[in-house]
Amino acid sequence: MSVRALVLDRDGVLNELWHEPDLGTVDSPARPDQVRLAAGAADAVRAANRAGVRVVVASNQPGVAKGKCTPQLLDAVTGALLHLLAAQGAHVDDVRYCVHHPDAVVDRLRAGCPRRKPGAGLLLDIARDLGIAPGGTWFVGDTHVDVAAGRAGGFRTAWVGRSRCDVCPTRGAEPPDLVAPDLLTATLTILEGENHDAALSRQR
């Protein structure tokens, strides 16, 4: 089946995680000035754009629920990410977040939401709204939670970052369909596979 879309986790895949040396923490960017594209991310998205493959971001973003940022800052972080991609000739077609968390300090956002990964709700919403078949869509993430969500939704899955995937068996998680060191490598491998499949189809 040809690749119809790439659905990408955000933090650790498209952009770098933010390190706070004074606090010794690593987390999602909470302000637009903290957004840094991951190496090769813009090249990956641009390659998908040129191949006619839609690109969608799907991410758990509980920062507002946890009181770490405001809705306005979350929007600003998203805007900064899209701006950095656009500056390098790359664009995403849609951005979807689950902002809920079961331990939220904001009452209205405290929920066991089915759209929160490892649930597949967010991914299935994307497939429905874009009119794409999950089997022709890849979900690219950097944690076992991403792989579990993709599997649950019937997506093919790619894990970015081999060293982190080494712990999959210890968590009882199914392995991804593809493991790559970064988003660019994963994207090119996926697109090359599509080209190979298309060539075989023409030969039949």
Which residue among the candidates 9, 43, 142, 182 is catalytic per the annotation? 9
Question: Based on the number of CB atoms within 10 Å of its own CB, is 103 exposed (0-12), middle (13-18) or buried (19 or more)?
Answer: exposed
Which tokens in the block code for residue 68?
A: 């770490």
Buried/exposed 55-94: b ≥16 CB within 10 Å, e otherwise: bbbbbbbbbbbeeebeeebbebbbebbbebbeeeebebee
Q: How far is CA 46 from CA 76, 98, 161, in A?
A: 22, 25, 20
9 part of the active site = yes
Cis peptide before 118 (omega within 30 of 0): yes
For residue 102, the tally of other CB atoms under 10 A from its CB is 12
Quote the tokens at residue 103: 């331990």
Catalytic residue among 11, 43, 142, 182: 11
Active site residue 142: no
Distance CA(162)–CA(112), nearest Å, equals 30
CB neighbourhood size of 19 (10 A)? 12
Q: Which two tokens stand for residue 71?
A: 């809705």
List residues with catalytic annotation.
Answer: 9, 11
